[in-house]
């Protein structure tokens, strides 16, 4: 959903052009105060701001900008901008947002991979070392083998989801 903030008579034309270009629902707020209220209630992909309002009401603009959340602000001077420019700028903003989200997801996955790989490796090594202990009671050895099998299952599950790294090293790679 896109929020268009403008008192312009061209608002309905902008709504049609943005909806046709993006397929997103477009909501109009005629004032910055109304935009702030809408931003408190809904999440938007982008907030298209008429530059006129930002310059005419800087304190209300600052308040509204605090409530953007994950929405990308797009400033446009609707008094002089053609519809194709408006559409182009909003498309570019949405495209940037998609790329930023993809990069954030990849970073989160990479971080999770590192953490899980380290934990699984540590568990496997610890269990394997414990199993090599001489004089280990049979019941304890059996429990350690059961835990080892569970960790190997976890490894396989992570591997099947693509979370494990190909080059992870353990003393005995799980079969």
* Position 117 in a domain: yes
Place 111 in a pLDDT band, splitting at 50, 70 and 90.
confident
Summarised one tens digit per residue, pLDDT across range 1-58 is 999 999 999 999 999 999 999 999 999 999 999 999 999 999 999 999 999 999 999 9
**Facing residues of 2 across strands?**
26, 46
Contact (Cβ atoms closer than 8 angstroms) between residue 139 and residue 163 = no
90 occurs within a structural domain: no
| Res. 173: pLDDT tops 70 | no
Say whether both 42 and 7 belong to one domain: yes
Same domain (yes/no): 7, 76: yes
Query: Do 77 and 127 fall into the same domain?
Result: no
Please say if the pLDDT value at position 73 is more than 60. Answer: yes
Look up the domain containing 135 and give its range. Answer: 106-160
Asked if residue 97 is part of any domain, the answer here is no
- The answer on 112 and 43 residing in a single domain is no
| Structure confidence by residue, pLDDT tens digits, 82-99 | 899 999 999 999 999 899
pLDDT over 50 (residue 170): no
Residue 54 in any domain: the answer is yes
| 27 plus 73 within the same structural domain | yes
CB 84 within 8 A of CB 62: no
CB 48 within 8 A of CB 18: yes
pLDDT band for position 164 (cuts 50, 70, 90): low
Residues 114, 77, single domain; the answer is no
- In whole angstroms, give the CA distance from residue 40 to residue 27: 14
pLDDT at 163: 58
Count how many domains the chain has: 2
| Eight-state DSSP code of residue 81 | -
Note whether 73 and 7 are same-domain residues: yes
Q: How far is CA 58 from CA 61, 72, 80, 162, 167, in A?
A: 5, 18, 20, 48, 54
- Going by pLDDT thresholds of 50, 70 and 90, the confidence category of residue 175 is very low
Place of tokens 């268009």: 4
Residues 99-106 have a mean pLDDT of 89
Task: Report if residue 98 sits inside a domain.
Answer: no
What is the b/e burial string over 65-85, where b = at least 16 CB atoms within 10 angstroms of the residue's CB?
beebeebbebebebeebebee
């Amino acid at each position: 959903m896109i929020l268009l903030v403008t008192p312009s008579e061209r608002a309905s034309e902008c709504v049609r052009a943005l909806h046709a270009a993006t397929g997103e629902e477009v909501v109009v707020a005629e004032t910055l105060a109304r935009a702030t209220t809408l931003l408190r209630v809904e999440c938007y992909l982008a907030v298209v701001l008429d530059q006129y309002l930002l310059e005419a009401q800087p304190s209300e603009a600052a308040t509204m900008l605090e409530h953007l959340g994950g929405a990308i602000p797009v400033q446009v001077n609707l008094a002089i901008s053609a519809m194709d420019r408006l559409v182009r700028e909003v498309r570019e903003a949405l495209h940037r947002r998609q790329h930023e989200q993809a990069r954030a997801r990849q970073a989160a996955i990479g971080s999770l991979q590192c953490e899980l790989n380290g934990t699984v490796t540590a568990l496997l090594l610890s269990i394997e070392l414990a199993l090599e202990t001489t004089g280990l009671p049979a019941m304890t050895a059996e429990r350690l083998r059961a835990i080892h099998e569970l960790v190997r299952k976890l490894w396989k599950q992570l591997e099947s989801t693509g979370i494990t790294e190909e080059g992870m090293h353990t003393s005995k790679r799980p079969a």
